[in-house]
Structure 1
Amino acid sequence: MSASDPRPADLPECPAADAGLLPDELRAWMLLLAATGTVEQRLRSVVKECLDVSHDEFLILCLLAEQPDAGLRMTQVADLLGRPKTRLTYQIACLQRAGLVTRRSVCGDKRGVRVALTGTARERLRETSALLAGTVRQALADSMGAEQRAAVRALVPALGEEPR
């Protein structure tokens, strides 16, 4: 290490930022994953405090909130969230004990189970949605600088367009 070069002599030169191995699409995807990881981390504590559920249970509530009152079959929930059915059964049981979802047999299918939000869950989501949305917005703003936004826009060019 010399006075003009503060790096130890045995450390290699840092590669240039544009000399990476990943194509732009994979680089943008990795940036997006990092941003969503930041959002999930921030949401975990807010969701626990506001709704007293885990982050995975919150994802189930959000999925069901976008459905009609009839809800979804458990297999659909598992597929849409990419969760094992055994883990989902446990999470649904927790949500049912908390009074946030109902489980009903599917007519004509003795193995089928349909889950839906209760009125209590819908009300609690309405009450907390502004705070939760603000948490998401702030986490994205904090974790995505101009370079990250440009990379994601390059991945999905339509993101840069105004809605029609």
Structure 2
Amino acid sequence: MAAAQEHPAELPECPSHAGGGLLPDELRAWMLLLAATGAVEQRLRSVVKGTLDVSHDEFLILCLLAEQPREGLRMTRIAALLGRPKTRLTYQIACLQHAGLVTRKAVCDDKRGIEVALTDKARGLLRDASATLAETVGQAFAHVIGPEQREALCALMPELAEDQH
């Protein structure tokens, strides 16, 4: 894993912000931001696999649950928040449960409802890996967020530009 961090794969270039294409400024800005976040996700995938031994999608589930109370979230809510089909989520939750990272239980007032929560093992792994993961995200963003992306953000959200002054 250390070697992967020392020599990260080259990240893809972002689309041009120069204009002249068919897209209005808002869509061009969105495409720049999408490319930047995609590049960050790409770099994070290998670090997540190396530190937590889970897939990126499973990692997103763990992160979502880490920000919730200990009782967890209903699977339908997780699917909605992550924009994932329930069938795919069921498989991912089963993998996480098999690894001892989440628990599943029926919701008391709804026979069909399933609530998912982090285990203490998952909380410990996330706590131990958080500095490495945060550093990876920070480095990746520093690598892909340049003047074009900042300009795109400010064009979409003028209040960001005002806060800079």
In 2, distance between residues paired with 1:156 and 1:68? 31
Aligned equivalent of 1:87: 88
Aligned equivalent of 1:33: 34
Q: Secondary structure at the match of 1:69?
A: coil
In 2, distance between residues paired with 1:69 and 1:154? 39
Do residues 52 (structure 1) and 43 (structure 2) align? no
> What 5-or-longer segments of structure 1 have no aligned partner?
1-15
Aligned equivalent of 2:103: 102
Q: Secondary structure at the match of 2:124?
A: helix
In 2, distance between residues paired with 1:133 and 1:85? 29
Q: Letter of the aligned partner of 1:28 in structure 2?
A: A
In 1, distance between residues paired with 2:162 and 2:115? 38
Aligned equivalent of 2:129: 128
User: How much is the aligned-residue C-alpha RMSD, in angstroms?
Assistant: 1.6
Relative distance call for 1:77 and 1:138 in structure 2 (3 A) is: same
- Displacement, 1:161? 5.4
- Displacement, 1:119? 0.8
TM-score (norm 2): 0.85
Q: Once the two structures are superposed, what CA deviation does each residue of 1:82-128 show, in whole Å capped at 9, x if it has no partner? A: 00000000000000011110001000211100000011111111111
- Displacement, 1:59? 0.2
- Displacement, 1:150? 1.1
Instruction: Identify the range of structure 1 (26-35 vs 148-157) with the bigger mean alpha-carbon deviation.
Output: 148-157
Larger radius of gyration: 1
TM-score (norm 1): 0.85
In 1, distance between residues paired with 2:162 and 2:132? 27
Aligned equivalent of 1:7: none
Structure 1 segment 145-156 matched on structure 2, within 5 A: 145-156=146-157
Aligned equivalent of 1:43: 44
Do residues 18 (structure 1) and 22 (structure 2) align? no
- Over the matched positions of the two proteins, sequence identity in percent amounts to 74
State the 4+ residue runs in structure 1 displaced beyond 4 angstroms: none
In 2, distance between residues paired with 1:159 and 1:64? 29
Q: Once the two structures are superposed, what CA deviation does each residue of 1:17-37 show, in whole Å capped at 9, x if it has no partner? A: 332221111111101110111
> What 5-or-longer segments of structure 2 have no aligned partner?
1-15
